Amino acid sequence: MVGKVQCLSVADAVDYKGFPADKSKTGGWIPAALILVIEICERLSTMGIAVNLVTYLGETMHLPSSSSANIVTDFMGTCFLLCLLGGFLADSFLGRYNTIAIFAIIQMLGTGMLAITTRLPQLRPPSCKDHAMNCKQANEFQMGMLYLALYLIALGTGGLKSSVSGFGTDQFDEKDEKEKSQMAYFFNRFFFFVSIGTLTAVTVLVYIEDEVGRSLAYGICTISMAVAILLFFSGTTRYRYKRSTGSPVVQILQVVAAATRKRDMNVPHVVDMLYEDSPEGSRIHHTDQFQFLDKAAIVREEDLGKGRNSSMPVNPWKLCSVTRVEEVKMMGRLLPIWATTIIFWTTYAQMITFSVQQASTMNRSIGHFQIPAGSLTVFSVAAILITLAVYDRIIMSLWKKWKGKQGFSCLQKIAIGLILSTIGMMAAALTEMKRLSVVKAVSDRPSSDLPISVFLLIPQFFLVGSGEAFIYTGQLDFFITQSPKGMKTMSTGLFLTTLSLGFFVSSFLVTVVKKVRGANGGQGWLADDINEGRLDCFYGLLTVLGLINLGIYLICAVWYKPQKAKPALQIEIGHSGDDKC
């Protein structure tokens, strides 16, 4: 009878009452789908705002192009940087369910406030239809209210993104073959549905923003998030919950502190002399990289209390097991790959800032229909969907026949993404050179109505979008599968910080270029009016940086050594045979 109950429960999960989770009543596709709805609505809101925010800042708030671009990239950067905060709170205090619930409500409040902010005429400067030189910019109060709404949204996004994918996979039991295959399907389709949310944002939502009203569009975001929250709460009794194992940040600090305390000691040549108290089945091989950290596992008499056979727990700030040290090493090995993927997201940032500004000056007509400038990012999203479909249906089967493997490795995917984004910036530079030649040829035409088709921008959007399909899935796979089991939420947050830092690096580059290529009488690479600047040179700079970064990445990828799958047996110090059982 006991065995039957065990078969129907999930060993490492509980239900909403804290009892062992019953497989027949909890988890599976329905709860995972309810969680996925939250992420789709988050994408709808965040991307619907981000891709068209630069036009609002320029046309309505009357800000210069470079300032508008930096505000957008800072907003997006903060969204992803706050994923670390969300991951820390989920791991240490709140749990994933509470984290999603709290931050979804925060994001809903942010989009609601943005709807009000864009509705009230007191919160924006007077209209300036003739683009006169004395056009009045938004004042500090107006910008302050806008910032408050945006960063409430950023806070909500950060808290959500760090926990949604993890809580979704919690609904499947890795030890059950059927549910394990379902979890793989969930991962494969997760990014697809996120892209559907983005596609809706850059088409339907952007059109409503430009042709009907921004307040209505943001109101739709608020209502959709409210519905998603209600659906999320409706699954409370069906979810599986994983108990928190403590903050991985604290675990990392403990290893570093213990190693620092023993910095003057020598690591023994025999690995078995290092401390190990982890269960035999979950131990990790000792590795030779980052040998300084091995000092945290050196055993001193005072570390074990009254003796080696003492049953008193050791102080983790003074002595850590080999497995705990190796977990920290695993995180350390991720960092070079982490650092060399940042530049991709710097490139991606241009697709929702300067590329949108390019589009706003070009001919966007299809018959009597005028394509909103922000909707050009639809080609990037389309590229993602097409690339994922081609990869899933064609490339994976061909690669399996040729190499006997299920598609590219995660490091190969990242490399392909970096290559495509670099080529995308090269294409962007060439297109901008063509656009600027038209500007010079028709100097008597309005700067927002150039006789050049906006579809010339498709190559840069398509190349960067295809690169995103490879690098996003490659990064997500790499940071989840190559991180320790207890640090996967933190690892997901670490992955998302590459997006954050990519946007911040974009803002930094814009600021530096503005100063170095100083505006003489309003001129420069990044002039207030892009028709008077040299955006092609800025794109060329990003191409060069992309090539340099690709070379460094390839070196780091060769250096990277994945952790061996099965741990070696090690001698346990200070524990009796009964304790092992």
Gap between the terminal Cα atoms of the chain: 23
Positions of the chain with pLDDT under 50: 1-6, 131, 307-308, 565-581
Q: What is the pLDDT of residue 180?
A: 67
Is 387 within 8 Å of 417 (Cβ atoms)?
A: no
Q: How many H helices and E strands in the chain?
A: 19, 4
Q: What is the pLDDT of residue 112?
A: 93
Q: CB 231: neighbour CB atoms within 10 A?
A: 15
Q: What is the pLDDT of residue 184?
A: 60
Q: Quote the CA–CA distance of 105 and 344 in Å, as a whole number.
A: 31
Q: Quote the CA–CA distance of 346 and 504 in Å, as a whole number.
A: 8
Going along the chain from its start, the domains and CATH numbers come out as 11-128+135-244 (1.20.1250.20), 248-330 (no CATH), 333-574 (1.20.1250.20)
pTM over 0.85: no
Q: What is the pLDDT of residue 567?
A: 39
Question: What are the distances in angstroms from CA 226 to CA 1, 109, 485, 515?
Answer: 44, 10, 33, 44
Q: Quote the CA–CA distance of 103 and 158 in Å, as a whole number.
A: 8
Give SS3 for 290. coil
Residue 21 has phi, psi (to 5 degrees) of -70, 125
Q: Quote the CA–CA distance of 67 and 52 in Å, as a whole number.
A: 15
Q: What is the pLDDT of residue 560?
A: 86
Burial category of 125 from C-beta neighbours within 10 Å (exposed 0-12, middle 13-18, buried 19 and up)? middle
404: alpha, beta or left? (left if phi > 0; alpha if psi -120 to 50) = left
